[in-house]
Amino acid sequence: MREDDGGNWFTKWQVELPPPEELTPLTQSLITPDLALAFDIGRGPSSSNNSISVVGAKQRHLLPSPPPLPQQLSSSTRDSKTGAPAARQPGPVDFADSGDLGSGGGAGGGGDEPARTLKRPRLVWTPQLHKRFVDAVAHLGIKNAVPKTIMQLMSVDGLTRENVASHLQKYRLYLRRMQGLSGGGGGSSSADAATERLFASAPVPPHFLHPGRPSSDHFLALQHHQHLAAEAAAAAAIPQYRRQVGHFGLPPNGQFEHPLLQSRQGQIAHSMGAAMSMHNPIQSSVGESDSVKGSGGRKVLTLFPTGDD
C-alpha cells in the first residue's frame, strides 16, 4: 500500500542539485550562545552596532516576498496551534533566546574563551540539509561515503563530522529497513516511524537499496551531479573552507550568516505524503501531533535551506 502511491515524491526528486551559483548560500555559521547574547538579541538598544543583526540578514534568494521575519513568539508554555505553519518558507525564524549562559557574563569577566567547552546546539536536519547529505552520499558512492568525506562534500559550514556520522548511522539503518521490506508488512514500528519521516523527505537513490544490481535500469537523476563532485573535489583539495566557525572568532570578513534558531516548535513541515497518507497536502493546517511538552529552553540550530527543493 505504500509503494504504489509513493510515485509522487519521486517526481519532486527531479530537482537535483542546485547549480553552483545557488548552492553557496548554504553556508551557515554557528552562533555561539555568547555571540548571540553579545549581539543584542533582546539586549540593550545600542548593542549590535558593529555586527549583524541576527534577524536583519537576508537571503540572496529571489523570494518575491521575503518575509521580514514573522516572528512567532511562542508564548512560553501553552500555545495551541497558532496560525497554521502553512508558511514553510525559509524564514520561520524564531528565536528562543532564553539567554541563560551565565558564563562569561559578557566581556567583562576578562574574556574567557567560551568557544571551547561550549556545547553547540543540536543540529536540525531539515529536508534540504538532508538532501545535500543524500546527494553527497550518492555521488561519493556508498563505499566512499564516510563521515569525513561527506562532511567535506557538503561543505556546510558548521557541520561537524559527528553530526554527519550520527546522521549517517541512522540513515543506514533506514536503508536497511527499506531493503528488507518489500511488500509486506507493514507494521510500522513506532520506533522508527519518526526516522522514516525525515528520510522519506529525500529521495533514496535506488542503488542504495540494491547493493549489487547494475543491470537495473538507471533511474533518473544520479548522473550529472558532477557539480557536487566538482565542488567536492575543490573542497577537499582546497582546505580554504572555513568551517567550524563555531567559535566566537569572527571571520576576517565579518561575514557570517545568521543561523536560524529554532526554539522548539515549528518543525519543518513536510509536504510529502509518502508516509501517512490520509489527508490532503493542500494546506491543511497541520495541527495535532504537536504536543509541546515541556522543553522550554532547548535551543537548536538549523542550517539554511538552500532554497532548492
Partner DNA sequence: CACTCAATAT
Partner DNA sequence: AATATTGAGT
Q: Residue numbers of the site for DNA (CB under 7 A)? A: 119-120, 122-125, 145-149, 161-163, 165-170, 172-173, 190, 193-195, 197-198
Task: Report d(CA 208, CA 175) in Å as an integer.
Answer: 7
**Number of Cβ atoms within 10 Å of the Cβ of 191:** 7
Q: Which is nearer to DNA, 48 or 146 (CB)?
A: 146
For residue 117, the one-letter residue type is: T
Q: How many residues does the chain have?
A: 309
The residue among 119 and 279 lying less far from DNA, judged by its C-beta, is 119
Within 10 A of 195 (CB to CB), how many other CB atoms are there?
15
Closest separation in Å from C-beta 55 to DNA: 23
Nearer to DNA, 58 or 122 (CB): 122
Three cell numbers, residue 3: 509503494
Q: What is the dihedral of CA 128, 141, 212, 206, to 10 degrees?
A: 20
CB of 143 to DNA, least distance (A): 8
State the distance between the two ends of the chain, measured CA to CA, in whole angstroms: 26
Closer of 222 and 236 to DNA (Cβ)? 236
Nearer to DNA, 63 or 194 (CB): 194
Between residues 40 and 199, which has the closer beta carbon with respect to DNA? 199
From the number of C-beta atoms within 10 Å of its C-beta (0-12, 13-18, 19+), residue 30 rates as buried
Measure the CA–CA gap between 198 and 268, rounded to whole angstroms: 10
Q: Nearest distance from residue 90's CB to DNA, in Å?
A: 16
* Residue 199: CB minimum distance to DNA, A: 9
Q: Which is nearer to DNA, 40 or 132 (CB)?
A: 132
Instruction: Yes or no: say if 126 and 309 are a contact pair by the CB < 8 Å rule.
Output: no
147, 150, 152, 156: CA torsion to nearest 10 = -100
Q: Minimum Å distance from CB 127 to DNA? A: 10
Separation of alpha carbons 76 and 89, rounded Å: 23
Q: How far is the CB of 121 from DNA (least distance, A)?
A: 8
Contact 203, 221 (CB under 8 A): yes
Of residues 52 and 198, the one with the C-beta less far from DNA? 198
Q: Which amino acid, one-letter code, is at 163?
A: N
Shortest CB 270 distance to DNA, Å:
10
What burial letters (b/e) apply to 261-300, b meaning 16+ CB within 10 Å?
bbbbbbbbebebbbbeeeeeeeeeebeeeeeeeeeeeebb
| Residue 208 Cβ vs DNA, minimum distance, rounded to whole Å | 13
